[in-house]
Each structure stands twice: as C-alpha cells, then as structure tokens.
C-alpha cells in the first residue's frame, strides 16, 4: 500500500488547522464563505466584504495508492493536479470533468460529468469517504456507513452543507493513448439511438467504446465522438496549438479517425473552453498565432469573463452598435435519453445557440448509490444525456426569459438542470427538484445555526 509522504500529510494537517482558525475568526452572525480566488460558477452573487475560509492549504494530492487504486485528495485540489499525480501510475479518476481548474471538492458538491460517465456515472459516485467542515465548525467524516445522510446529500449542495477537506476516491487504470472515431449523423434521433445502443453494449460496429460524447452543430450535422483506450504507440494529434479540437470532428459523411495521448484527451476541451474561446477571438488564425499557448486555457478565459462582468463590456458594445443587451444562457441539463431528441430539436428551433454538447450518463450500480442522491435524483438503471450550451441571446420581455423557457421544458421532460449558473425556479419548484425535506433535515443537523447559505438562496437568489 502507498503511504502519503510525511510532508504531504503534515502539509494537509496544517491546511486543516488554518481552515479551522479562519472559521473561528468569522463573527458568529456572519455568513461563512470560501476565500477562493477562482470559480467555475457562472451565476453572479452578492458582494461580501466579510473574511472567508482559508483553503490555501487544501490544494494538493495527499497520496495515491496504486494497488488499491485510490487517492486521498484535498478538497480544493484541481483536476489538473490530480491527473498529473495519477497518470504516472497508469491511473485516472473515474470521471475527469472537462476543465483543468475544476476542483475535486467542487465537482462532488456541485456535480461534474465527462465522456466516461456513461459507464462511470458522476464524480461523487467514486467517492469512498469525505472529511467535511460543517456549519458547527467541526470536521466530520462522511461515508456510506458513517454519517450517511450527509454523505448522500452532499452532491449538488454547493457548499451549503459544508466544504470537503479531504476526499478518498476510486481510480481506474488507463492506457497511454485514446483512439477516436468521430461518426457523423444527419438526424438527431439517429444519433441518440446509436448513443443508446453504445451505452447498453459498450461498443459500436464491433469496436469497444471507453469514452462517449457528441456535438450538435445543426439539425442535420451532429457527431458522436467514440474513444477507446489504446496501448500501442503511434502518431497523435495536438490541439493545444493552431488546430482546434471541435473543428476536427467535422467531415462530410461516415466517420473520421484520430488519436490523442490520454493526457491530451482528458484536456481536449480545455484549450478552447469547448468552443467558447471564439468569443475572445482566440480561434481567429491571425490572433491565435500570437496568443501565448500558456494562456490558451479555460482559467485565462475565466479572467476575461471576470473583466466583462466587472465593467459590463459586452453590453456596452451591444449598446454602441444599436443592439439590445444579451441574456447569458449557460447551462447543463440532464434529460432522459428517450426524451433527448425531442429536447435537442426543440432547442435548435427555439434558442439561437450552437454548437451544443451531448454527454450520456448512467448512475453506477454501487453500494454508494444505494442511499440515492436526493439533491439530484436521477433514476437508477436509466440513461440520461447531459446537454450543454454556453452562450448568450438577446434579452426577452422578462429577466431570464430564455433560461425560464429552458427550465420549463426540462421539467416537462422529467429532466434536471445543474445549478452552477443562473436559475429562476420558485421555492416550491426548487424543493420538488432539489431535495426538499431531505435537504432541510440534513441542513438542520449539520448546520443548525445556518452559518452557510441555504441552497435556494445561493442558487436562485444569488446571495
């Protein structure tokens, strides 16, 4: 068994002590927040001048156990650091969300997904145990057998039940390369039917599929991206330079093949933030040539978004050009696979955003899921498709007009929407979708004095 180096364990212990000291320094009546310089949330929130929790000592991998295929990881460790620690052992987290600066704790308390999710579920399902700072100021161990109510309610709680200090997660073996097949479809329903068969069989036209996602450019141009782990060395593509990954999917008909290293496959979307880097001009060859490679990554685009939000740059440009302000439509929604074609076709007819991302998922058949995940209740043994769309549209007749339409459509189709961006549900609608009485009970148990914000206040009221 691998043992964490003494300095790693000591550094983590020191980080926990600084966290607890910062908690005790916050006045009793003040709301507790993280003092965290970066975020992957898209919803704005009220400004706070109160001191936050010091998580600066909770950013590293504590240990990797290659034999048990587990890792102990501090809550604020990014997946970039985590993958860098596990790949030398030929191991990877079961699900690696697409962007390098997403933290493990963030993906567990706020959900995450990727192309392994059709066989490995969601990141919180690979968690074996967690140490969580609760609203009482205590660090509590949570697992399927120890404080199981907190363990099962933690996913999708977004820090309102506490913050993970340490997580022990499962890992899986990976090979050095990923062989890719980009299969074109001319009809959305045909793509979804093929996706459903792959989920059930784990293969497509007789070839194994380890990774599965897709991109829709229009009603008659969409692609399934099929990946298979591969050990044999050979030529690989590089999409961290002048070439752009999502553009490499496109072709006239049939299928197109490609190869990446496992490292570059896991981060294939980060260089251009899927396709959102085009908003900054980074996909213009004339600009891209001079755009430093180290700044072609999601974390830098986040800084540009921050400047826009701070100085209202985009709306000022729209106003100068005689156009109305724009409504941000940045969402990931889960729709049952049998309703996915209906939703995508409605979306393409209704919302002027393209491309859109498709990523199938199915909850794992594991002991951890026996208690369910009440704050994001997906049906077990049932396939869903995550539909991601990230852009803006002209404002409508009321605040959040397009987002509200999407929320209603998703609910009509028995789907769910992630809460990392703007939400407009009424309190009753929200309770029905995101835990209701279960959440209230766990909140009272582990945060009896409401030191952390309520989930509705944080996700909808943007407090």
pLDDT of 139-165, one tens digit each? 999 999 999 999 999 999 999 999 999
Tokens matching residue 3: 């043992």
Inform me whether the pLDDT recorded for 309 exceeds 50: yes
Is 80 exceeded by the pLDDT of residue 60?
A: yes
**Residue 318, pLDDT score:** 56
pTM of the model: 0.93
Which of 267, 245, 229, 219 has its CA nearest to residue 96?
267
DSSP one-letter string for 151-186: HHH-TT-TTSS-EEEEEEEEEEE--SEEEEEEEEES
Task: Determine the Cα–Cα distance for residues 133 and 169; give it in Å rounded to an integer.
Answer: 18
Residue 99 domain-assigned (yes or no): yes
Of 116, 117, 123, 20, nearest in space to 73 by CA: 123
User: For residue 130, what are its two tokens?
Assistant: 């967690």
Prior bond to 355 cis, omega within 30? yes
Higher per-residue confidence, 37 vs 126? 126
3 state DSSP class of 259: strand
Q: Residue 425 to residues 206, 404, 416, 437, 460: CA-CA distances in angstroms?
A: 45, 8, 12, 17, 7
Backbone angles phi, psi at 207, to 5 degrees: -110, 140
| pLDDT of residue 369 exceeding 90 | no
Q: What is the pLDDT of residues 97-122, one digit of tens each?
A: 999 999 999 999 999 999 999 999 99
Residue 131 maps to a domain: yes
| Listed range (123-137, 233-247, 307-321) with the worst mean pLDDT | 307-321
Q: Is residue 24 part of a domain?
A: yes
Give residue 324's pLDDT.
76
What is the distance between the alpha carbons of residues 160 and 388, in angstroms, rounded to a whole number? 25
By residue count, the chain amounts to: 463
311 pLDDT exceeds 50?
yes
Please, what's the b/e burial string for 59-91 (b: 16 or more CB within 10 A of its CB; e: otherwise)?
bbbbbbbbeebbbbbbbbbbbbbbbebbbebeb
Q: Is pLDDT larger for residue 51 or for residue 362?
A: 362
Strand partners, 53: 34
Q: Which ranges in 202-297 belong to alpha helices (H)?
A: 245-248, 262-266, 285-288
Mean of per-residue pLDDT scores for the chain: 92
Cβ 31 vs Cβ 129: under 8 Å: no
**DSSP string over 10-33:** HHHHHHHHHHHHHHHHS-TTSPP-
Residue 133 lies in a domain: yes
What CATH number should be reported for the domain holding residue 82?
A: 3.30.465.10
In a domain, 49, yes or no: yes
Q: How confident is the model at residue 415 (pLDDT cuts 50, 70, 90)?
A: very high
Please write the tens of the pLDDT for every residue from 251-286.
Answer: 999 999 999 999 999 999 999 999 999 989 999 999
Q: CB–CB of 363/113 below 8 Å?
A: no
What pLDDT is recorded for position 3? 46
The whole-angstrom separation of Cα 290 and Cα 282 is 9
Place 125 in a pLDDT band, splitting at 50, 70 and 90: very high
Helices vs strands, H then E, count in the chain? 16, 16
Q: d(Cα 438, Cα 420) in Å, to the nearest integer?
A: 21
- pLDDT reading at 37 higher than 70: no
- What per-residue confidence (pLDDT) applies to 363? 95
Convert the pLDDT of each residue in 194-208 to its tens digit: 999 999 999 999 999
Return the DSSP state at 103.
Answer: B
The whole-number average pLDDT for the span 19-45 is 77
Instruction: Tell whether 68 is covered by a domain.
Output: yes
Cβ proximity of 118 and 214 under 8 Å: no
Enclosing domain of residue 61? 6-174
The pLDDT of residue 46: 55
Q: Per mean pLDDT, which range of 56-65, 217-226, 362-371, 437-446 is the poorest?
A: 362-371
pLDDT at 364 over 70: yes
Q: Which residues contact 18 (CB under 8 A, 6 or more apart)?
A: 54, 56, 57
Specify the number of domains making up the chain.
Answer: 1
Looking at the domain assignment, is residue 376 inside a domain?
no
Q: Residue 405 falls within a domain, yes or no?
A: no
């Amino acid at each position: 068994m691998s043992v964490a180096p003494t300095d790693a364990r000591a550094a983590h212990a020191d980080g926990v002590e600084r966290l607890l000291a910062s908690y005790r320094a916050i006045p009793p009546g003040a709301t507790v927040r993280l003092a965290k310089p970066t975020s992957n949330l898209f919803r704005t929130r009220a400004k706070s001048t109160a001191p936050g929790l010091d998580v600066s000592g909770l950013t590293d991998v504590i240990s990797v156990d290659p034999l048990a295929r587990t890792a102990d990881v501090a809550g604020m460790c990014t997946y970039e650091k985590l993958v860098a620690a596990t790949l030398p052992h030929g191991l990877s987290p079961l699900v690696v969300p697409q962007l390098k600066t997403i933290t493990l704790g963030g993906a567990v308390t706020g959900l995450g997904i990727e192309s392994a999710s059709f066989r490995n579920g969601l990141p919180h399902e690979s968690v074996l145990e967690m140490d969580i700072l609760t609203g009482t100021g205590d660090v509590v161990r949570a697992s399927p057998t120890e404080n199981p109510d907190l363990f099962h309610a933690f996913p999708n709680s977004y820090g309102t039940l506490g913050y993970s200090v340490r997580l022990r997660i499962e890992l899986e073996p990976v090979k050095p390369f990923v062989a890719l097949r980009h299969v074109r479809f001319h009809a959305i329903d045909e793509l979804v039917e093929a996706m459903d068969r792959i989920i059930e069989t784990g293969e497509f036209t007789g070839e194994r599929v380890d990774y599965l996602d897709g991109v829709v450019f229009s009603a008659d141009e969409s692609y399934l991206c099929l990946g298979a782990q591969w050990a044999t060395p050979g030529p690989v593509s590089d999409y961290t330079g002048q070439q752009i990954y999502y553009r490499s999917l496109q072709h006239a008909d049939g299928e197109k093949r490609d190869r990446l290293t496992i490292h570059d496959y896991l981060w294939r979307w980060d260089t251009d933030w899927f396709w959102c880097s085009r908003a900054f001009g980074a996909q213009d060859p004339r600009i891209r040539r001079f755009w430093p490679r180290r700044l072609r990554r999601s974390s830098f685009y986040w800084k540009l978004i921050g400047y826009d939000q701070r100085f209202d740059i985009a709306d000022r440009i729209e106003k100068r050009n005689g156009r109305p302000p724009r409504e941000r439509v940045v969402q990931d929604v889960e729709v049952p696979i049998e309703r996915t074609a209906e939703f995508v076709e409605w979306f393409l007819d209704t919302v002027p955003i393209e491309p859109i991302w498709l990523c199938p998922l199915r909850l794992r058949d594991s002991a951890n899921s026996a208690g369910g995940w009440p704050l994001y209740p997906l049906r077990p043994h049932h396939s869903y498709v995550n539909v991601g769309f990230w852009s803006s549209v002209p404002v409508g007749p009321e605040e959040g007009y397009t987002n509200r339409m999407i929320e209603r459509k998703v609910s009509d189709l028995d789907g769910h929407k992630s809460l990392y961006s703007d939400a407009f549900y009424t309190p009753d609608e929200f309770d029905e979708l995101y835990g209701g009485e279960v959440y209230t009970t766990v909140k009272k148990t582990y945060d009896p004095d409401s030191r952390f914000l309520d989930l509705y206040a944080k996700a909808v009221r943007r407090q």
